[in-house]
Structure 1
Amino acid sequence: MTLRLTGAAHRAFDGRPPAPADPYLVRIYSDMAQLYGTVFDQERFERANRNTFSDLARGLLDALPPQPDPFDLVVVASDVPDFEPRVSGVSYLTDALPGTPPGFALCDQGDAAPYTALRLAGQYAADGRAGRALVAVMDQTTTPANPGPPRQGEDARDGAAALLLSADGPGAPIGVRQYGGLTRADAHALLGEALPGGLGSLFVGGGLDPELVAVPSGVTVESAPGEFPCSGVWALLAERVPDLAGQRRPVVLADYVPQGTDEEKGGELCFCVVDFGAAAA
């Protein structure tokens, strides 16, 4: 059974009003830093946005139209775990969505996490266990260790994307593929070879250079905003769903996640085809 994309949303989140960091979290991260032989930067933590995954999930639901029908599955995908260990974005969504769906989180896969989440949701649907699913993708700038740009800085924002999926009814069929053991050059070549016929748009993450992908003429190519490394390509999709649906052509979203040096061929290519040309009304 193929999952279909029935809706999408993306929201950006600024920081909370200034407030002292929770002493409990400061103690936890100070102890962890000492354990790993580094130093916890409390000053940077004080300036951080401190939006939890539950905060991002709440904002996502506000950005979506009302969802009266029950859900069967929730998957939260992120590069790193929530900085706040006492709350759960998955549990928040499970309680907030109709049907009280089971849910779980995926992280520590870099920006490949959303693609893995979609594959897992698709397997649940194929097994007859998920007629409706929500995949939420989180970009959180508040981390206990220095995350490096663009996940830090005075102007850094958090971001989150929601993908509404259904095994029955209207929507555009989706398919996901992931290939490991690739150099960056390998990934660009393989992506160009795998693009479907009649492609309308290609959205790529920061790990890919669109100029190095062999794209047929007439295809619109866009790079995701760097401030949202994990949710950026899904933000492009969410912003353009009405136009893309009207064009009725396939759309590809792709990311390359380095997992070693090019000599080690440790990188992973992930891409998702959303076939608006085969969308059911």
Structure 2
Amino acid sequence: MLWLARAARRVFDEPAARTAHPEHGPHFAGYLTDLLKPYGLAPHPPDGGQSYGEMGAALIADVVRPDEPVDLLVLAFAVPDVRPGRATATYLSHVCPGAPLAFAVCDQGVAAGFTALRIAQSYPDCRRSLVIVVEQATLHYELPAPAPLPARHAGVALLCGDSGVARISSVVIGRDDPVASSVDKPPGQPYTGAWWALAGELADPTPRRVVVADRDPVLGYTCSSTVDFVGLEPDGVARVSAWDWERPEELSERMDTFLVDGATCDKLEEVARPPFDRAVLGDLGVTGVEFAAWKSRHPAALASDVVPLRAPDAEAAPGRVYRVDGEALFAALDICEPLPFADGSVDWVYAEHLVEHVSLGAGIDWLTEVRRILAPGGVLRLTTPDLATYVDGYLAGNTFFSRHRKRMRAAGLGPPMPARRAFMFNQIFYLYGHRWLYDFEEMCYALDAAGFSSEDVRRCSFREGARPDVADLDRVLRNDESMYVEVVKRDT
């Protein structure tokens, strides 16, 4: 799931510095002449115009902090760059913190920005993705086909990732009827206007759904993106509105609100009802179950959570399988109840930061059910806060607590946490709905009590395990505090 963390927008009044430079200007004019000659075109005088490299670098400085490495950068534009000889996206990857993988999207008109956002959605493992949409208003030659020309040089940068101020629920590009936009793009910005308006929406923390929609008059593309704001801080610092750490009931209320507001989608289509045996799941393309997830990154997963997903016209009924937004599969399941799967019906089960939310007894009961539904040789992978890590942080006074506080703050998960060691130790026990914490020995005990053999339990590293496709579900956000445990169900 992609979140919008921050945005920056700029108008660039001055011409590109390199193009206007007395030494480089003539070289640029000669290059442009040679470039256009095979097409029978002559360049206009090379005055004015903007370089997307300079524009992008300025936007990066506005929206990306030096200590926030970006994993993916996508540059989108429709009007040609005033400096066509440079691989601008590659250049920006060297300017941007993190030296991200870089793409450029062009020749799609209005759709370029939406395509850039879809590319960012296609890389769910990226901690941070940066989408830059730019347009410049000067052409040094005549276009072969008519197209809207901007009235000013403008750019918008959208910093996205696995946390932020609003959830980007969908991005659609097609040739259907136009979709009504709930934001008004400013005049004179045919390619950045919709994103300029979206960036302005970040100033309003009110929970709401925003539809960014546009249509390219030349190519005929109809594009839309649904963005859900869920009551967040306007500067992108907090995904859940701020609370007082000394009053945990405030955090509990806000987390409940966040879960309800976050469990939304555009469309729910019921595709199966229990009981689910191996044949039924196979027909759905399901090989395993990811618990505590509304949508899984695994292509053959059934995602599940106790909080049901809601669409505008439907809500997921407990135990039934739904196709979400025409893609992923979801079922609302309570781990304190028997699971609606036949014995040996799945090959793997994954649960991140789930088992600590129920009592030890309820956790063992759930693990017993998981063992039942796993096929022989099936893999269970669990991640949970590591009690030993917190004990060491308290007793040894090492840097774990300070590093974890910084990580939580950088991820936008609430106001700064108190630096007191006693607070840092207590919060993992008593906040977030936690009921029972585990170290490796306790986890082995619970798995053994559930019928697994403790000899088969293995402690793993982040994104390392018996099944790489399952281990890859581990999220970066929690790897500093997490314990990763796997167990394989024996054949007998």
The correspondence of residues 12-27 of structure 1 with structure 2, limited to 5 A, is 12-16=11-15, 22-27=25-30
Q: Does 1:28 align with 2:26?
A: no
- State the Cα distance separating 1:72 from its structure 2 match: 0.9
Return the index of the structure with the highest Cα Rg. 2
Pairwise CA distance, 1:65: 5.8
Structure of greater relative contact order (alpha carbons < 8 Å, 6+ residues apart): 1
| 1:158 equivalent in alignment to 2:172 | no
Query: How many Å separate the matches in 1 of 2:203 and 2:58?
Result: 21
RMSD: 2.5
Distance in 2 between the 1:100 and 1:35 partners? 36
- From 38, 41, 62, the equivalent of 1:38 is 41
- The gaps in structure 2 that reach 5 residues or longer are 233-238, 241-492
User: CA separation in 2, counterparts of 1:121 and 1:78?
Assistant: 16
1:237 is aligned, of 198, 208, 229, to 198
SS in 2 for 1:22: helix
**Could you tell me how far apart the structure 2 residues matched to 1:79 and 1:236 are?**
18
2:237 is the alignment partner of 1:276 = no
Report the AA paired with residue 13 of structure 1: F
Partner of 1:202 in structure 2?
182
**Residue in 2 that maps onto 1:77:** 76
1:133 corresponds to 2:135:
no
Matched to 2:84, the amino acid is P
Mark the CA change 1:65 to 1:99 in structure 2 (over 3 Å): closer, same or farther.
closer
Q: Which whole-Å deviations, capped at 9, do the CAs of 1:88-117 have from their partners, x for residues lacking one?
A: 432333122222111110100011100001
Contact 1:15 1:157 (8 Å CA) reproduced: no
Q: Quote how far apart the aligned CAs of 1:159 are.
A: 0.7
Work out the CA distance in 1 between the residues paired with 2:52 and 2:36. Answer: 22
Once superposed, which parts of structure 1, at least 4 consecutive aligned residues long, lie more than 4 Å away? Answer: 17-21, 147-150
Aligned to 1:57: 56
Q: Which runs of 5+ in 1 are unaligned?
A: 193-200, 204-221, 261-266
Quick one: which amino acid aligns to residue 248 of structure 1?
P
Q: Is the 8 A contact 1:11 1:63 kept in 2?
A: no
Residue type matched to 1:132 in 2? Answer: R
Residue in structure 2 matched with residue 209 of structure 1 by the alignment: none
Deviations 1:70-89 (A, max 9, x none): 21100000003423134343
Residue identity over aligned pairs, in percent, reads 33
Judged with a 3 Å threshold, the aligned counterparts in structure 2 of structure 1 residues 23 and 119 are, in CA distance, closer, same or farther, namely same
Deviation at 1:25, TM superposition (A): 2.6
Distance 2:66 2:226 in 1: 25
Normalising to structure 1: TM-score of the pair?
0.72
Q: Which residue identity lines up with residue 271 of structure 1 in the other structure?
A: S
Partners of 2:96 and 2:35 lie apart in 1 by 35
Contact 1:173/1:278, CA 8 A, preserved across alignment: no
Kindly indicate whether the alpha-carbon contact (under 8 Å) linking 1:9 and 1:64 is maintained by their aligned counterparts in 2.
yes
- Report the 3-state secondary structure (helix = DSSP H, G, I; strand = E; otherwise coil) of the residue aligned with 1:119: helix
Report the number of matched residues: 227
Letter in 2 for 1:30: T
Question: Residues 149 and 177 (structure 1 numbering): CA distance in 2 closer, same or farther, change over 3 Å?
Answer: closer
Query: Residue 107 of structure 1 corresponds to which residue in structure 2?
Result: 106
Question: Per the alignment, in what secondary structure is the counterpart of residue 190 of structure 2?
Answer: coil
